[in-house]
Amino acid sequence: MANQATLILIKPDGLKKSLTGNILTRLSETKLEIVAAKIATVSRELAEEHYRHLKDKPFFSDLIKYLRGELHNRRKVMALVYWGEDAIKKCRQLAGSTNPEEAESTSIRGSYGRITTSGVYENVIHVSSEDKEAEREIKLWFHPDEIIVNLYPTKEAVEKEKKIKVWA
């Protein structure tokens, strides 16, 4: 299996429960490389685009609230790109099943996830499920210059008169 990239999100419940260290320690068992990392706020557009494959599900609007941190008063996620051999399978195995009640008890979701009374699967972490999805998601969450390896083709562009913030 060739090198592969996957998006990982530590979701707002993971941040609120102070699980960042535990989750990164678990993921380090994979011996994969972290090639991008940041804390990000999640706009409605980003959340809806990220979970667009679920937009017809009855739990979609709660899922968007969950990813945006509205259920945990933590308006942020930690986004990372893990890279290396068989990255998706290795990370999904450690993450465990989508439904935290069905996830193996020692997996990340099995250890730390729960189903809320309103039925949201609060499962602490997101992992891309296959190559095409990983590419779509990584491009959604990161600019090319935030990733320290060349994962996908890029092109040069000039942004005219774009206001940016610099240190005062």
Which residues are annotated as catalytic? 126
Nearest of 44, 114, 30, 126 to residue 79 by alpha carbon: 126
Binders in 119-138 for ligand IDP, by CB under 6 A: 119-121, 123, 126, 129
Cβ pair 122, 24 in contact under 8 A: no
| Choices 59-67, 100-108, 127-135, 137-145; region in contact with Mg ion by CB under 5 A | 127-135
| 111 near Mg ion, judged by CB under 5 A | no
Q: How far is the CB of 144 from ligand IDP (least distance, A)?
A: 25
Side chain identity, residue 127? V
Q: Which residues bind Mg ion (CB under 5 A)?
A: 129
Q: Which residues bind ligand IDP (CB under 6 A)?
A: 54, 59, 63, 98, 119-121, 123, 126, 129
